[in-house]
Amino acid sequence: MQKRSKLILPLFLLLLISGCVNQQQGKVLKLAHGLDPSHPVHQAMVYMAERCKELSSGELTIEIYPSGQLGSEQQCVELLQIGSLAITKVSAAVMESFTEDFKVLGLPYIFRSKEHSFKVLDGEIGDELLLSTEPFWIRGLCFFDAGSRSFYTIDTPINHPDDLKGLKIRVMKSITAMEMVKAQGGSPTPISWGELYTALQSGVVDGAENNPPSFYTSHHYEVCKYYCLNEHTMVPDVLIISQKVWVKLSEQEKLWLQQAADESVPVQRKLWAESEKESLEIVKEAGVTIIYPDKEPFSDKVTELLESYRENEKLYDLITRIREVEE
């Protein structure tokens, strides 16, 4: 009983603290996430907080709690929905559980290039997606670059999708991610991120898929010696705010916050690009073989998967509109 109390108490105390706190010097928004302070997304959030303070002359400030200080990603989302936390960061894959529209961002090879993905996310389609979760008390502020996800394996080089046959590949708990690995020929195995290193080490799975910085910072390169840069998906991160907090902001406060968030996007993208380059150099020096395969066979394998969405009129319309966006 005592152990249970220790788990409940921090959350109980947090519920007593509003995500939007009025203090003598102005209004304070609480932002929590699970990333390390060295992460490009955290650094972009710091920039956003500084800009928000500058734009508002200190009337609206943001307090950042990194490294899971206020709970896991799921807990932060739950606190956000009830207004006990103002802002957090999630993968766009997590947003699928609120609205089906977000599925489109996790579809394999939906984007022709990084430049194409930026055009989509910075445009009308991106704006629509950011606002699509308002009925669930969540509003998107902006998209952050989370790179391209590619396959890495313990001891099997992946040069062609046929090489994935029979391999157990860890995926996020996302239907779209599971369908993608199946289409490529692998066996999708949902495992939490925190348990993945042990799962790789013990052979529970044969590999996983993620971006270069995550491959490096997770130390998965210590176990997996092949990294195939097939870049099957470009699932962005999403900075979200509690709708209950948002409606309590004045129109001017909303403008300050949104401007600060928008200005943090190019900063984060630059930091991310630098992080990707550095990560690949480090894992290569550590003995990982970097494979640059022909992407066409991988893309061909998922054509049928994308076409299967024709029956879903709304989702297929999004797919069509994304394809029509010029780089």
Mean pLDDT, residues 301-314: 92
Query: For position 168, what pLDDT does the model report?
Result: 98
* Side chain identity, residue 223: V
Sequence spans of domains, the chain = 2-92+114-145+236-274, 149-234+278-324
Domains 2-92+114-145+236-274 and 149-234+278-324 belong to one CATH topology: yes
Q: Is 327 a residue whose pLDDT tops 90? A: no
Instruction: Give the pair of three-digit tokens for residue 16.
Output: 């007593």
Per-residue burial over 152-168, b if 16 or more Cβ lie within 10 Å, else e, is bbbebebebbebbeebb
Find how far residue 269's CA is from the centre of its chain. 13
Query: For position 249, what pLDDT does the model report?
Result: 97
Tell me the residue ranges of DSSP E strands in the chain.
20-23, 26-32, 60-65, 87-91, 138-144, 149-153, 168-171, 187-190, 207-210, 226-233, 237-242, 289-291
Distance CA 158, CA 250 (A): 53
Distance CA 77, CA 90 (A): 8
Query: For position 166, what pLDDT does the model report?
Result: 94
Q: Is 13 a residue whose pLDDT tops 50? A: no
Our CA angle for 63, 66, 70, nearest 5°, is 85
Query: For position 6, what pLDDT does the model report?
Result: 40
CATH code for the part of the protein at 149-234+278-324:
3.40.190.170
Mean pLDDT, residues 275-302: 97
Which band of pLDDT confidence, cut at 50, 70 and 90, is reported for residue 4? very low
Which band of pLDDT confidence, cut at 50, 70 and 90, is reported for residue 34? confident
Distance CA 26, CA 249 (A): 12
Encode pLDDT of 194-252 as tens digits.
Answer: 899 999 999 999 999 999 999 998 999 999 999 999 999 999 999 999 999 999 999 99
Encode pLDDT of 127-160 as tens digits.
Answer: 999 999 999 999 999 999 999 999 999 999 999 9
- Check: CB of residue 231 under 8 Å from CB of residue 150: yes
Distance CA 173, CA 192 (A): 8
Which band of pLDDT confidence, cut at 50, 70 and 90, is reported for residue 47? very high
Q: What is the edge-to-edge ordering of all strands in the sheet holding 168-171? A: 187-190, 168-171, 207-210, 149-153, 226-233, 289-291
* Side chain identity, residue 144: F
Q: Specify the pTM.
A: 0.87
Q: Is 15 a residue whose pLDDT tops 50? A: no
Mean pLDDT, residues 294-320: 94
Q: Which CATH number among 3.40.190.170, 1.10.10.60, 2.60.40.420, 3.40.50.720 corresponds to the domain 2-92+114-145+236-274?
A: 3.40.190.170
Mean pLDDT, residues 180-186: 93
Distance CA 307, CA 316 (A): 8
Q: Is 65 a residue whose pLDDT tops 50? A: yes
- Answer with the residue of higher pLDDT: 152 or 175: 152
Mean pLDDT taken over the chain: 91
Encode pLDDT of 72-90 as tens digits.
Answer: 888 999 999 999 999 999 9
Percent of the chain with pLDDT over 90: 83
Mean pLDDT, residues 94-107: 91
Query: For position 93, what pLDDT does the model report?
Result: 85
* Range scoring the smallest mean pLDDT among 5-19, 168-182, 268-282: 5-19
Find how far residue 292's CA is from the centre of its chain. 24
